[in-house]
Amino acid sequence: MTAPMLATLTDRYFSDPGWIFERKLDGERVIGTRSGGVATLRSRTGRVLDGTYPELVRALRQQRGDFVVDGEVVAFDRNRTSFERLQRRIGLTDPVQAEESGVAVYFYLFDLLSLDGQDLTASPLRERKRRLRAAVRFGGPLRYTTHRNTDGEAMLADACRRGWEGVIAKRADGPYVHGRSTDWLKFKCVAEQEFVIGGFTDPAGSRHGFGALLVGVYDGDDLRYAGKVGTGFDHRTLTALRTRMDALATTSSPFRDPVRERGSHWIRPKLVAQIGFTEWTRDGRLRHPRFMGLRRDKSPRAVIRELPMRPGR
């Protein structure tokens, strides 16, 4: 499997007739394949997800033709996509347990990479989306990702009013490239990104599991400390995450910087967490961070500080 196309964060919002604008969904990026009547789902790191989302595999299998599609698997909390709710499915690999979890999932398709043996990655995005809409019978858990032409700033304002995560801006005539590109840009309503867990602190009072996560981002080969995250956990998450961290225990800090948190324990930097926060402080720490869930679709070494792209587009 080849790497999916990834968007670049920017804070230079714009409207442009040469671009289209889609709602930014808060879920798990998935590549879906149908070949010879056999369907499969893979994460952006290549992990097979068929047991986690069996109803989506069935929906692809019931289509016609051979294709490769790109999209986002989401769960909803009212009218908002919720990565926290999706966590109840992400940890499951048994298809029966997954479907009995009580969490309905939907596969929002936004790109078509190939159709009946024809590679479409060099075709303009507008053409790929047109062919996607014609090739797939949408309904049930399969949804088409709609877009708005030209008016990126108005769409972002509307998204933020609705409490959505933001907007993805895409160059309408651009090809599909494997990796990060400035032809796809992220307009975010809130600050949020992945962080590597390098340790945790002792719980206090009646709390179980741990007190806070100690997280960081890579700068070259160095894991730089970004702060502690002490909110966003329920009892089940505190217990399950402590079990996973205990299995990764080590005696030395993985962070390049000194960490002066009381009651600190260290783990090998193998776990990636999605964290929401208000802003970065001047000394490179997170302000008001909140745990949203673990990510399994990104290598820890790929986790770096996301800085908005300012010059040009």
Residue 4 pLDDT: 95
Separation of alpha carbons 105 and 89, rounded Å: 9
Which pLDDT does position 192 carry in this prediction? 86
For position 311, what pLDDT does the model report?
43
Cα distance between residue 198 and residue 289, in whole Å? 16
Contact present, 3 and 179 (Cβ < 8 Å):
yes
88 with 97: CB under 8 angstroms?
A: no
Give one DSSP letter per residue of 179-213, joined into a string. Answer: EEEEEEEEEESSEEEEEEEEEEE---TT--S-S-E
Give the largest Cα separation in the chain, rounded.
61
Q: What is the DSSP string of 44-66?
A: TT--B-TTT-HHHHHHHHTS-S-
Question: Which pLDDT value is given to residue 80?
Answer: 86
Distance separating alpha carbons of residues 19 and 31, to the nearest angstrom: 23
Are the CB atoms for 105 and 143 separated by under 8 Å? no
Average pLDDT along the chain, 313 residues, taken 10 residues at a time:
87 93 95 96 94 98 97 92 90 93 96 97 98 97 96 92 90 96 91 94 91 97 96 92 97 96 96 91 90 91 82 44
**Tokens representing residue 34 in the block:** 């149908």
User: Which CATH fold topology does 5-188 show?
Assistant: D-amino Acid Aminotransferase; Chain A, domain 1 (3.30.470)
- pLDDT value of position 297: 84
Residues of the chain within CATH 2.40.50.140 domain(s) are 191-302
To the query of whether residue 24 is one of the catalytic residues in this protein, the response is yes
Q: What CATH number was assigned to the domain covering residues 191-302?
A: 2.40.50.140
Any bridge partners for residue 15, and if so which? none
d(CA 222, CA 253): 12
* 40: its two tokens: 């499969």
| Candidates 24, 129, 170, 186; catalytic one | 24
Domain with CATH 3.30.470.30 in the chain: 5-188
